[in-house]
Homo-oligomer: A and B are copies of this chain.
Amino acid sequence: MPAKRIGIKDIAEATHVSPGTVHRALNGKAGVGEDTRKLILDTAKAMGYQPNINASLLKRKPLRIAGAFPAYTENNRYYYPYVWQGFRECMADMVDYNIETVEIPYYTGQGVGSQRNELLNLWEQQRGELDGLITIGHMAQKDYSILKKFTDEGIPVVLACDDVPSSPRLCCVQADHIMTGRMVAELLSAQIPGDSQVLICAGDVDVQSHYQTVQGFESFVKEEGLNWELVKVYGNDNDTEKVYQRIMGLLEEMPQIRAAYSVNARNSQVLCQAVKELGRNGRMRVVTSDIFPENIQNLKDGICTNIAYKNPRQQAYLAAKILLEYLMKRQKPLEEVVYVNSEIVFRSNVHVYE
């Protein structure tokens, strides 16, 4: 039989104060003497107190959680709808926990509607009623300080997808980009000869996730002693036309290219269009990134041969879950950086991801 679980009342008796005071001390509310608070905290720990969150749910006002992610227009629609989905799914799974959601879509860029401005607005208007924030750690150096405004106010912040290591975030939930790049190299290494040319759509060097994925790919190639000739095409989401022309040129110039890999979503679509246009599908291995409707179709049609999936849905889901666990039970995550597994998707199981 489990030992009787100890409650707020037990601590109250042990410390000769009222249950109300114990509650205030344990939850960091104002209005408890410094000595009393310490005594209560210590005895609570000594007695192994675990709050009964169900009881607390019954009467307390809702926890208000804000999720701030890019609005999914234009190039953001390849990735961020799944981040929103993961966030919303977690919130829906947790309805029983008396939670209110605030959704803050922002535009990636500067000025009105930017992440910086939207977060500033949120802080100014709602900091009093806000209990936690989840956002993406992909921001300019000068914007890091915004996160600190929230944590200074006692509002914990969890980052998803991209980290800001120097910030006071509770943790970051992200993909292991290096591992993902290695995995794709490993996959291709069994499919093409050792002297192949391989086209890498390497995205934007300044974006950490792109850079690290390429790095992982290259480190595998190097460690295994493969003699592949890697041809890299850089280019961010704003020069897709240029990237398209460059890929077309390379594919035509180099009929020996036996494999291609795009490390980001937008260029995956560009790569597939080029492969299709030149009728190269079926004659080379093409690995793309991320699940989105066009890419699912690419795989079904055999334009690409596999998808490397970094699971943004699960990243956001887990980020939200970790934040709520912290708010409800004061349980910090074990690691500051939590990695979500990446998977290789095949035509045979792509339907599972629809």
What is A's interface to B at a CB cutoff of 8 Å? 52-55, 57-58, 96-98, 176, 179, 182-183, 185-187, 190-191, 220, 285, 305, 339, 341-344, 346-349, 352
* Of B187, B347, B352, the contact of A346 (CB 8 Å cutoff): B187
Q: List 27 A-B contacts (CB under 8 A).
A: A54-B54, A54-B55, A54-B57, A54-B58, A54-B98, A58-B58, A176-B349, A179-B348, A179-B349, A182-B349, A183-B346, A183-B349, A185-B348, A186-B346, A186-B347, A186-B348, A187-B346, A190-B190, A190-B191, A190-B285, A190-B305, A191-B191, A220-B348, A341-B349, A341-B352, A343-B343, A344-B344
| Complex: chain B residue closest to A190, CB-CB | B191
Taken together as a complex, chains A and B put the C-alpha atoms of A205 and B176 apart, in Å, by: 40
Q: Contacts of A342 on B, CB cut-off 8 Å?
A: 349
Closest beta carbon of chain B to A115's beta carbon, Å: 27
* Of B54, B58, B343, the contact of A96 (CB 8 Å cutoff): B54
| Complex: chain B residue closest to A343, CB-CB | B343
Taken together as a complex, chains A and B put the C-alpha atoms of A182 and B348 apart, in Å, by: 6
Taken together as a complex, chains A and B put the C-alpha atoms of A190 and B282 apart, in Å, by: 10
Q: Contacts of A285 on B, CB cut-off 8 Å?
A: 190
Taken together as a complex, chains A and B put the C-alpha atoms of A144 and B96 apart, in Å, by: 36
Taken together as a complex, chains A and B put the C-alpha atoms of A305 and B190 apart, in Å, by: 9
Taken together as a complex, chains A and B put the C-alpha atoms of A176 and B55 apart, in Å, by: 40
Closest beta carbon of chain B to A227's beta carbon, Å: 17
Q: Contacts of A339 on B, CB cut-off 8 Å?
A: 352
Closest beta carbon of chain B to A82's beta carbon, Å: 16
Taken together as a complex, chains A and B put the C-alpha atoms of A186 and B97 apart, in Å, by: 44
Taken together as a complex, chains A and B put the C-alpha atoms of A232 and B54 apart, in Å, by: 55
| Complex: chain B residue closest to A51, CB-CB | B96
Taken together as a complex, chains A and B put the C-alpha atoms of A191 and B98 apart, in Å, by: 52
Q: Contacts of A343 on B, CB cut-off 8 Å?
A: 343-344
Taken together as a complex, chains A and B put the C-alpha atoms of A22 and B58 apart, in Å, by: 20
Closest beta carbon of chain B to A174's beta carbon, Å: 14
Closest beta carbon of chain B to A192's beta carbon, Å: 9
Q: Contacts of A97 on B, CB cut-off 8 Å?
A: 54
Q: Say yes or no: B183 contacts A348, CB within 8 Å.
A: yes
Q: Contacts of A185 on B, CB cut-off 8 Å?
A: 348
Q: Contacts of A52 on B, CB cut-off 8 Å?
A: 58, 96
Closest beta carbon of chain B to A226's beta carbon, Å: 14
Q: Contacts of A344 on B, CB cut-off 8 Å?
A: 343-344, 346
Taken together as a complex, chains A and B put the C-alpha atoms of A58 and B58 apart, in Å, by: 10
Q: Contacts of A348 on B, CB cut-off 8 Å?
A: 179, 182-183, 185-186, 220
Q: Contacts of A220 on B, CB cut-off 8 Å?
A: 348
Taken together as a complex, chains A and B put the C-alpha atoms of A305 and B344 apart, in Å, by: 14
Taken together as a complex, chains A and B put the C-alpha atoms of A176 and B349 apart, in Å, by: 10
Q: Contacts of A54 on B, CB cut-off 8 Å?
A: 54-55, 57-58, 96-98
| Complex: chain B residue closest to A351, CB-CB | B179
Closest beta carbon of chain B to A214's beta carbon, Å: 15
Taken together as a complex, chains A and B put the C-alpha atoms of A98 and B182 apart, in Å, by: 44
Which 9 A-B pairs have CB atoms at the shortest separation, nearest pair first? A182-B348, A54-B54, A183-B348, A54-B57, A190-B191, A186-B348, A341-B352, A183-B346, A186-B346
